[in-house]
Structure 1
Amino acid sequence: MEKSQNIFGIRAIIEAIESDASINKIYLQKGLRGNLYYELDKLIKSNKIATSTVPVEKLDRLSKNNNHQGAVAQISPIKFYDLEVLLETINKKEKTPLLLILDQLSDVRNFGAIIRTAECTGVDAIIIQKNGSAPVNAETIKTSAGAAFKIPICKVDHIKDALFLLQAYDIKTVAATEKTDTSVYDFNYNQPLAIIMGSEAKGINPSVLKMVDYKAKLPLLGEIESLNVSVACGVFLYEAIRQRK
């Protein structure tokens, strides 16, 4: 299995960004200064790359005690797709589009499990946000059973950007949320559709909820108020498959 790769050194990371490498996250030592660092900082901001300020001990571990110069980047083992280009391809297929949007899901194991289910249910693409989302790393790929290499994953600056683009392609959106009376089983999946799942802690962002076309919820008959997001996602996807069959 291909694993995430850590690269270290400010110049090496600058070159990786300029080469359009898919970077999950950059770890920086507090207090970095100098022209080369400012060049890196400018690239990080312009490309909206997630960063984290960490103790030097963590950088030592990530770089295996090599000369990291206060910066280590985690490179994704997969290449991400451009959403608009992918939608053009999806639009030419005979099947009714089915996409999945993950609004800042944070747990890599949940992410991997969802990727696996999405691939098994014929989802055309998964859309995630650049910042605040779980990375596609070695653990994600392991949990996905390799499905991360088989299904297109797109990164967007903000989930709302994806919603605007989907509207332009006449693809409707349905949010998985308890803030509705419509059951997951009463919703019509026989249309071009993107299902939106929220984060483990906060659910779907309120600004995103305001933009969706539909909302649907899972019936909960016990005392626990929510399901694991990967389980909930599986219910939505297989109900879509059931209706479309």
Structure 2
Amino acid sequence: MENQTQIFGIRAAIEAINAGETIDKVFLQKGLKGELFSELESLINRNSINISYVPVEKLNRLTNKNHQGVVAQISPIEFHDLETLVMSVMESGKTPLFLLLDQLSDVRNFGAIIRTAECTGVNGIVIQKKGGAPVNGDTIKTSAGAVFKIPICKVDHIKDAVFYMQSSGIKVIAATEKTDDTLYDVSFTEPCAIIMGSEDRGINPSILKVVDAKAKLPILGEIESLNVSVACGAFLYEVVRQRLS
């Protein structure tokens, strides 16, 4: 899986971060210690970079180079500023449609969602700096290249994006089973942003408290939920249906 978007080695990672490279995620070997390693950890935390502590075997699979317990992934895309993007969409005269992903962890789900979002006219996707799936080769492949066609923003916390959307006149709708309303009961014809939760936990309860509306998919079978990328597709195409009617 080694590619040109990887940096390996402690000092190389430090220099890349200090140089302003768009680091999407850093894999650190569990139990590693030392002054230089502590410096890197502090730098990662100060810059709110996604971090994962993994066994050395995982790092060895990522690269066959002398990684010194550190492999950093450079994002293949440039991330957009949320406020600038929202303002641009509002000024364009389009009816805004944004997608907020609350710590989605699977890169293939992420890529599939990006592909569907591009096909349904989503104006931008918002992800959290920490805890979510990285934009890597698997994301690009699963998105069929759509990752290069749709703006993606990173924020410190999804709740920051919720509040900014609301202050900009954009209704925030949570896709969650914790409601009696289905997506067919909610209007998507006005400016809106849809929040999709993580595969295992769904949407953070603190975020659910501040959204403008909640909606769920009607489930007629015995399995209680759909894959998040499939559910996202159903929501986005209901937006399309309503806006084309």
Question: Could you tell me the TM-score, scaled by structure 2's length?
Answer: 0.93
* C-alpha distance after superposition, 1:185-207 (max 9, x if no partner): 12111111000111111111100
How far is the alpha carbon of 1:4 from its aligned partner? 6.4
Q: Does 1:186 align with 2:185?
A: yes
Corresponding residue of 1:155: 154
Equivalence map 1:1-245=2 (5 Å): 5-29=5-29, 30-34=31-35, 36-64=36-64, 66-245=65-244
Secondary structure at the counterpart of residue 185 of structure 2: coil
The AA in structure 2 aligned to 1:11 is: R
Q: Which consecutive aligned stretches of 4+ in structure 1 deviate over 4 angstroms post-superposition?
A: none
* C-alpha distance after superposition, 1:109-139 (max 9, x if no partner): 1111110000000000001111111111101
Report the count of equivalent residues: 241
How far is the alpha carbon of 1:86 from its aligned partner? 1.1
How far is the alpha carbon of 1:39 from its aligned partner? 2.5
- The gaps in structure 2 that reach 5 residues or longer are none
CA contact (8 A) 1:100 1:195 kept: yes
How far is the alpha carbon of 1:54 from its aligned partner? 2.8
The AA in structure 2 aligned to 1:203 is: G
State the distance in 2 between where 1:8 and 1:189 align: 45
CA contact (8 A) 1:59 1:71 kept: yes
RMSD over equivalenced CA pairs, Å? 1.5
- The gaps in structure 1 that reach 5 residues or longer are none
Identity %: 66
* C-alpha distance after superposition, 1:29-75 (max 9, x if no partner): 323202x33332221111111222333343344331x3323321111
